[in-house]
Structure 1
Amino acid sequence: MTLIARTRARAVETLALDAPHHRNALSAALVGELADALADAAKDPGVRAVVLTHTGTTFSAGADLKDPPPPEALVALLRQIVELPKPVVARVTGHVRAGGLGLLAACDIAAASTEATFAFSEVRIGVAPAVISLPILPRADPRALARFYLTGERFDAAKAQATGLLTTHGDDVDTVLDPILDGLRRSAPEALAETKRLLTTRVLEAFDRDAADLTALSARLFSSPQAREGMTAFLERRDPAWVV
């Protein structure tokens, strides 16, 4: 079963996470297929830019708790988006949770509809937003993020833009994106690649400096007793034992 739907229009390749029955959770299979699709787009001279979007009502619910990718695979995918020699634009019309926010932050431009909602839900299942912090913290406001990192609360597109997680938002995300995609189509491919390289220098420095430590932290937390209780509680639709 294909988990990534591919379409193309006027040199813009659209990759849609296409596992709506699993809320586009980041399974090992989906991560692998998305990495392959991005690699194909990177080497195709007919692709000027990539749009990363979704089917269904959820952009991504984060890691698939039944079939999670290894932390190293998620790190590699996030870095691949950041390093892709073509702009990657996120198009969001639904919910974004946990690891899905890592995908969002790895993109060069991120746009959402006003219907979209966001949450760093990791703390509520006994883990931390470790690996996804690699692209998030260099691009977002740590003070603005602190509340949402620490509480797991849901927040809307306006707050997501204020923190730096989104570039823009609006009632109709495609109306918002049209001038952006038009601008990318009018830009020279080599100039786009070099300009993206300028913009991603600090993000890649974070990967070089912190990826190993954050990967180890993620693996340790996901194997902890608190995480087992949190994930079990989530699957059983109950509060975990630590809720007071």
Structure 2
Amino acid sequence: MTYDTLAVTIGKGLCRISFDRPEAGNAINDQMIRELTQVLNICVCDAGSDGKPVSIVVLEGNAEIFCAGGDFQAVSDSGAAGDPEPLYEIWRLLSEGPFITISVVKGRVNAGGVGFVAACDIVIAEQRATFGLSELLFGLFPACVLPFLVRRIGHQKAHYMTLMTKPVSAHDAAASGLVDVVAENADAALRQHLTRLQHLNRQAIASYKCYMASCSGNPERDKVAALTANRTFFSDPSVVAGIQRYVSELKFPWEA
């Protein structure tokens, strides 16, 4: 697939999306939003060239920068930032879509770039990566980022990060919950994750993420949904067959 702002490969159940605007710090513009929307919709509705449904989506930048946020040059040229809803929908799809989403961060992340990170299921960062919200310096605030960031790190930590406007280190981001894994080599850490994640069933991933999106963490409030989900998957013949096979042959569902 050929895009102007992205480098994309899809195959063997994996979609890798690299932001590819190095001259602009991988900043988000309208073209990038359109192309990301198209790629993610392919992942939702379609399969790769090998016919295997996409179950993992990986977002990457380059060694120096993951994503600098919104394209200030485009805003300066047009005098407007455009409609924020398409980008918000991309983050919502990363958060709730029927696939595992992983951000691999090697360098700097700022502003809207934090939105991509906060929306993903798993975040792997190299030790030199940094994460910042600079919006208040310019008289605005990260309104669309915050719903995803608050869910990931909590209200007060997101509040402090927004107010301070300064970048935080990968280790500090991990301490807050924004980053899951800090690695010396993010590519090696990604390979280790994919070795395990690639065995997960897309239908199970989709059901799980749908359930988690509505899970409040309140046992009483969540009881009906929890019991319904449990009864549903234990009444699925393929689930029961997989359990029976493991008991009798000690083989996982994906093993020949």
Q: Is 1:49 paired with 2:56?
A: yes
Paired with 2:11 and 2:45, the residues of 1 have a C-alpha distance of 17
CA deviations 1:148-199 (Å, max 9, x no partner) are 2101011110111111111111111122222321222111121111112222
Paired with 2:203 and 2:29, the residues of 1 have a C-alpha distance of 34
1:2 maps to 4
1:208 maps to none
**What runs of 5+ residues in structure 2 fail to find an aligned partner?**
75-80, 217-256
2:228 maps to none
State the percentage of identical aligned residues.
29
TM-score by length of 1: 0.78
Query: Aligned ranges for residues 26-105 of structure 1 at < 5 Å?
Result: 26-45=28-47, 46=52, 47-55=54-62, 57-67=64-74, 68-105=81-118
1:119 aligned to 127, 132, 141, which one?
A: 132
CA displacement at 1:24 relative to structure 2: 0.8
Q: 1:112 to 1:169 in 2, by over 3 A?
A: same
Q: Is 1:188 paired with 2:201?
A: yes
Paired with 1:187 and 1:96, the residues of 2 have a C-alpha distance of 29
Paired with 1:56 and 1:170, the residues of 2 have a C-alpha distance of 14
2:78 maps to none
Query: Aligned ranges for residues 146-225 of structure 1 at < 5 Å?
Result: 146-201=159-214
Q: Which has the higher contact order (CA 8 A, sep 6+)?
A: 1
Paired with 2:104 and 2:212, the residues of 1 have a C-alpha distance of 20
Paired with 1:34 and 1:113, the residues of 2 have a C-alpha distance of 24
More off after superposition, 121-130 vs 179-188: 179-188
Give 1:14's aligned amino acid.
R
Give 1:23's aligned amino acid.
G
Please say if residues 88 and 108 of structure 1, whose CA atoms lie closer than 8 Å, have aligned partners that are also in contact: yes
CA displacement at 1:4 relative to structure 2: 1.1
Paired with 1:200 and 1:54, the residues of 2 have a C-alpha distance of 27
Q: Is 1:135 paired with 2:142?
A: no
Which of these two proteins has the greater Rg computed from alpha carbons?
Answer: 2
Q: Secondary structure at the match of 1:124?
A: helix
CA displacement at 1:81 relative to structure 2: 1.6
**What runs of 5+ residues in structure 1 fail to find an aligned partner?**
204-244
Give 1:31's aligned amino acid.
I
Paired with 1:56 and 1:167, the residues of 2 have a C-alpha distance of 19
TM-score by length of 2: 0.74
RMSD, aligned α-carbons = 1.8
Paired with 1:7 and 1:186, the residues of 2 have a C-alpha distance of 19
Q: 1:141 to 1:83 in 2, by over 3 A?
A: closer
Q: Secondary structure at the match of 1:139?
A: helix
More off after superposition, 61-70 vs 108-117: 61-70
CA deviations 1:92-140 (Å, max 9, x no partner) are 1111000100111111111111111111111111110111112111121
Give 1:121's aligned amino acid.
S
Paired with 1:91 and 1:202, the residues of 2 have a C-alpha distance of 26
Q: 1:202 to 1:165 in 2, by over 3 A?
A: farther
Paired with 1:69 and 1:107, the residues of 2 have a C-alpha distance of 24
Give 1:90's aligned amino acid.
S
